[in-house]
Amino acid sequence: MMRIENLTIFPDRREVLVDDTLVELGSRAMDVLLILMEANGALVTKEELIDRVWPTTIVVDNNLHVHICQIRKIMGVHRKLLVAVPGRGYRLLRSAEPAQATSTFIAVAHSKHTANSLPFSSAQLVGRDTSLTEIGKLLCAHDVMTLVGAGGIGKSSLAAEVGRRHLSQFEGRVWMVEMAGRNTPCPLPAAVASAMGFTSQNGEHTAKTVIDLIDKKPTLLILDNCEHVIAEVAEFTHMLTRLNPACKILATSREALRIHGERLYHVIPLEVPRDDDSNASIPRRSAVQLFLARVSSIEPCFCANNANLALAGRVCKRLDGVPLAIELAAARAAILGIEVLAEKLDESIRILGGGHRTALPHHQTLEASFDWSYNLLSETERKVLSRLGVLRGAFTLEDAQAVAASDDLSVHDVTEAICALISKSLVVAHLEQGHVEYRLLETTRCYALQRLEANGQRNATERRRARYLSKVFCASHGNWTNEARSRVHGDNSSPSRQRLLSPGLGILPLR
């Protein structure tokens, strides 16, 4: 529930009450109202309103003005709170009464009617029911939770939905703070103060003074996209939970905060079709459901016949079930056709652009999402990641050291870099019965290869891989007779067989 003066809005039910009386408001006008409320008093440009309310339709300013008038009409005597900024857009103020300063900061009244800063979303969150249930349970038991995972995996969407589902539990005291600002970087205390409605007379914000103003009542603070300011967020979170045990933190990041009491939740990709799936099973996979939903929202005439379902499944598998990649692919499929999209994806991930104009810059194209992570790496980590691009599928630490170590990088450097890349959600580690294998998501591998090519290092890295392959074969030469026999009899336990078939090296079994 959100409230401004005598106006009460229930986003989930899309209902508006004026003086506790239900009033009618058109669907488009309701969308405009929710976007303005989400901005928490900040300016929303006409372009942003039009892009979000009419994403697939060309409209003019007059259409928007009609719905603004509808909102002002229901606001009655408080209509002046909806302010038009000539030539730019609109602001929805919280109150006509200027706040009275009692300290450095002035807090908006924190009651069960306090408006939260959660973003409005009309799109269904596909394939995340289990995750939402698990996160909800863990949140009850832990003061600090961090959703970690690769870029575009859906951490922000999950966190926002968790906040919406737990509004009543925290009596409306749920705020979401965007760390990856669209414009100039904003200090963490100032970002939190802005999201929670604290204002300052002198413009100065410190972590301690902001924390002192947060109610000592059950409160949820969601810190989104923390990886580029991870140390500052960790320090702020540690201080906040120590001084205010009633406040819980839900952070999203590509790496952990690494503070005492933190509970990690690894966000995994959506479910992709299996090799043996029938045409009837493919649409039941959550990755395909998301793809079809997004394509249909852009192109209502899209036909989900068997051929298109098979191609949709192929695209989703190629993208490893990463939601951002799937949404971008759906947007391209609606324009190019799904068959052309599937063909182009085999050439480059650069085709995956055209995200929402209102999205954060690193969510507008898949390449930009990877650039965001890549630019946060050290020089050594960048070199290792790009060189790992020559390894397909699963690989061992020995494989990685063989292709990445060179005159400028020692084996130790490579090992340390791989540990860092795992912690930053760029390399996936799989432990089974004491044996660890690693892999890059296919989209990550394609990006790594692009970087390797751009750096002029691909040929040298491929040569190291070839020399390593030669050594593996030579070392196993004495076992070829036994190896051939074990293959004929289907014996997969031979160590030399397992070594020779290392998927990351691309070695195929004998036929």
Strand (E) positions, 120-198?
144-148, 174-178
For CA atoms 356, 358, 360, 362, give the dihedral sign.
positive
Asked if residue 421 has pLDDT above 90, the reply is: yes
* Tens of pLDDT, residues 12-47: 778 888 877 888 888 888 888 888 887 777 788 888
Residues 6+ apart with CB under 8 A from 74: 7, 16, 18, 23, 25
Percent of the chain with pLDDT over 70: 80
pLDDT value of residue 223: 94
H-helix or E-strand containing 81? none
pLDDT value of residue 6: 76
Q: pLDDT: is 269 or 300 the higher one?
A: 269
Asked if residue 351 has pLDDT above 70, the reply is: yes
Mean pLDDT of the chain: 81
Length, in residues, of the chain = 511
What tokens were used for 16? 């508006």
pLDDT value of residue 497: 38
pLDDT-wise least confident of 63-77, 179-193, 285-299, 347-361: 347-361
Q: What is the mean pLDDT of residues 95-101?
A: 39
Asked if residue 317 has pLDDT above 90, the reply is: yes
pLDDT-wise least confident of 78-82, 290-294, 383-387: 78-82
Main-chain dihedrals φ then ψ at residue 340, nearest 5 degrees? -65, -40
pLDDT-wise least confident of 54-68, 151-165, 265-279, 330-344: 54-68
pLDDT value of residue 252: 96
Using pLDDT thresholds of 50, 70 and 90, give the confidence band for residue 100.
Answer: very low
Beta strands 105-106 and 199-200 are: antiparallel
pLDDT-wise least confident of 83-97, 99-113, 189-203, 325-339: 99-113
What tokens were used for 212? 């002192």
pLDDT value of residue 200: 62
> CA angle, corner 12, sides to 10 and 16, nearest 5?
30
pLDDT value of residue 194: 79
The listed range with the strongest mean pLDDT (59-63, 125-129, 236-240) is 236-240
pTM here?
0.70
pLDDT value of residue 1: 63
> CA angle, corner 38, sides to 32 and 41, nearest 5?
95
Asked if residue 432 has pLDDT above 90, the reply is: no
* Tens of pLDDT, residues 332-346: 888 888 888 888 886
3-state helix, strand, coil in the chain (%, to 5): 50, 15, 40
Query: How far is it, in rounded angstroms, from Cα 155 to Cα 135?
Result: 11
Which H, E and C letters describe 361-397, residue by residue? HHHCCHHHHHHHHHCCCCHHHHHHHHHHCCCCCCECH
Asked if residue 322 has pLDDT above 90, the reply is: yes
Asked if residue 181 has pLDDT above 60, the reply is: no
Q: What is the mean pLDDT of residues 63-86?
A: 85
Asked if residue 106 has pLDDT above 70, the reply is: no
